[in-house]
Amino acid sequence: MGKVIISKNNRIKYKMHNTRTIKILVAVGLLITITGCKVKEKVKIDDLRTHEEVLLQEVLEAEPAFENIHFMRMNVGVNLNGKGRYNSAANCKIITDSVIHISVRPFFGIEMFIVQLTPARMVLVDKTKNLYYQSDYLIFEDLFDMQLDYKTFESLLTNKLFTIQMKNQEKPLKPMPSDRKNERILTYKNVSLTQHFLLNENNRIREIEIKSNEGAEQFRTYYTDFVTVGKLVLPSNIRLQLNNESKKFNFNVSISQMEVDGNIDIPFLNANLYRQADIKSLLD
C-alpha cells in the first residue's frame, strides 16, 4: 500500500512503497495492445477468405434446420430408362441424422413398398413379392467407386449441401473458382468428378450437376416451387436424373403437404417377415 504525506506547503502527496501498481498498469496496457493486434489480425484473415469460402458460409447459414420433417402427401414418379414407369402416392418421414422412412401406397392407401435408410444400412421391402433387399453404403464404392452415405440421401431430400467423395480420398473437398462467372455457384472437383451446386438469390440450392471427368455419366437434381413451412422454406418439387451413354433414370418427387418438427413415429420394420434377395439384382 502507499502512504499519504502532507508537505510543508500543505499539499497532499501519495507515496508508494513499491512499484506493484505500476507493474499492474503496464500489464493491463500490454494486454490491451496485444488484444488490439489480435483483432486486427482476425480482420486480415477474414479479408483473405476467397469468394467461394464466403459463399459456402452463406449457403450453410441459409440451409433449413429441423429435428424432423414429414412429407405427409407426396407423389413419386420413376422412369427406368423408358422400360419401366411408375407413379404412386407416398409419404416420407425423416429424423435428422437418424432415419429416412418412405412408404409407397399406390392403391387406396395400401402399402406396397417400404424404403428405410439409417446411417448403418439401407432396406427396401417389396410387399408385392414378399421380398426385402438390404445393404450397407459400401455397395456404392463397389459399384461406382463413390463414397455415398446416409447423409447424402438426407441432404438430397431436404435441399442441403453435400459432396461426393471418391474411394480412398482422405482430404475433404474445398470449393474452387468456377469458370461460370455469371452464375451463383459452388464447384468441387476431384480426380473423377466435377460437382456444381447452382444457387438462387436466397443462397439455396436450385440445381445440382455431378459429372464424370472422363466418361458420360451424369447426375442432376432440380429443386423448384419453394414454399414456406412454419419458419422454413423448402422445395415442393424435386427432380433427379441419372444417365450415361445408353441409360437414363428419372426419379421425381412432388410434395403437396409437409410438416416440420411435429410428432412423428417411425414404424418398426421387421425384415424377418420377408425373404431376402440380392440388392444388386435391382441394378441389373
For 159-212, the pLDDT digits (tens) are: 999 998 776 666 778 898 887 777 899 999 988 889 999 999 999 999 999 988
Q: How confident is the model at residue 284 (pLDDT cuts 50, 70, 90)?
A: low
Q: What is the pTM of this model?
A: 0.77
Q: How confident is the model at residue 240 (pLDDT cuts 50, 70, 90)?
A: very high
Q: How far apart are the first and last CA of the chain?
A: 89
Amino acid at 6: I
Distance CA 206, CA 195 (A): 14
Distance CA 52, CA 175 (A): 6
pLDDT higher than threshold 70 for residue 6: no
Contacting residues for 276 by C-beta, under 8 A, at least 6 apart: 131, 132, 133, 134
Distance CA 83, CA 72 (A): 29
What is the overall mean pLDDT for the chain? Answer: 83
| Beta-carbon-side half-sphere exposure of residue 80 (alpha carbons within 13 Å) | 8
Q: Tell me the average pLDDT across 227-240.
A: 95
- Quick check: 261 and 232 in contact, CB under 8 A? no
Q: What is the pLDDT of residue 43?
A: 41
- Quick check: 226 and 236 in contact, CB under 8 A? yes
pLDDT higher than threshold 60 for residue 268: yes
Q: Tell me the average pLDDT across 220-239.
A: 95
Amino acid at 195: Q
Q: Tell me the average pLDDT across 71-94.
A: 88
pLDDT higher than threshold 50 for residue 95: yes
What is the β-pairing status of strands 122-126 and 68-80?
A: unpaired
Q: What is the pLDDT of residue 276?
A: 95
What is the β-pairing status of strands 275-277 and 131-135?
A: parallel
Q: How confident is the model at residue 214 (pLDDT cuts 50, 70, 90)?
A: confident
Q: What is the pLDDT of residue 147?
A: 80
Domains and CATH numbers, the chain: 65-283 (2.50.20.10)
pLDDT in tens, 12-69: 444 444 555 555 544 545 454 444 544 444 444 455 478 899 999 999 999 999 999 9
